Amino acid sequence: MIIGAMNSPKNDLVSELQLFGEMGFDFVEITVESPAATPEKIAANKKAILDTLHSYNFGVLSHYPWYFSVAHPYQTIQDAIIREFARAFDAAASLGAKYATIHTEFMPAGIQDRPVHRAKTIDSVKKLHKEAAERGLQLLIENYNASSFSIKEFKELFSDLDTGMTLDIGHASTSDGEGMSNYLAQFKKRVRHVHLHDNDKRQDQHLPLGAGKIDIAKAVAELKSFYDATITLEVHSSDREYLEASKDRLEILWYGKEHHERNKEYQMPKK
């Protein structure tokens, strides 16, 4: 199991990487996103970013704005968004990213008929899969909730396209998230990456682990039964001590307290 963190796009990317490095994270999931981590700003600061990544021996994954539509009712706008995705893919690939996580549609219900919404999503994801592959990126699709894209609709998408899933346990655990166990019952073999955060089991809140009502111990045990790869702690608290505390909590749940304490001593020996 490999634990990573995601940069806040509001903050300087190099400073974010340094923070995660000092906290002992294994990798960073770079969200290529306005205002501070746009493709232009990544290009302008590429050397400093790469130097920092290398100094902490970070692996790199990539993530893209949730508000980038994949089923926009106006095709000219959707085409422009696909081009923006491609520019963001270029930026991520230049930093050595291997995975690219995108979201399904967030367009409000009622904007277009559901069959059209579903067909447009699948068409856009196919185009993005091709754009990502051309840049050496493996496209992953992240779950949100049933109004965004349901488990039934994911089954249709996956029947048309051989790609993986980023399982977001927090999203699956909201009131209309359809449940982690239900996602795993259908897509366990598709899971290539995981996002973990807490909430009140109603809304998507990105709380520190243990601050909400998700049974994190149960979720981790279920995950551990079949999975042993990258997990991004997508904790959005402005107080970053909660991010580090979530890392400690995940390590203890996964490995046990004794192993966690030994690892902590190895990483940060007492003077």
What is the C-alpha to C-alpha distance for residues 149 and 144, in angstroms, rounded to an integer? Answer: 7
Q: What are phi and psi of 125, to 5 degrees?
A: -65, -40
Its pTM stands at 0.94
Q: What is the pLDDT of residues 123-156, one digit of tens each?
A: 999 999 999 999 999 999 999 999 899 999 999 9
Largest CA distance in the chain: 64
Looking at residue 114, which CATH number applies to its domain?
A: 3.20.20.150
Task: Tell me which residue range forms the domain holding 186.
Answer: 2-267
Structural domains in the chain (count) = 1
Q: How far apart are CA 251 and CA 227, in angstroms?
A: 14
- In tens, the pLDDT along 78-95 reads 999 999 999 999 999 999
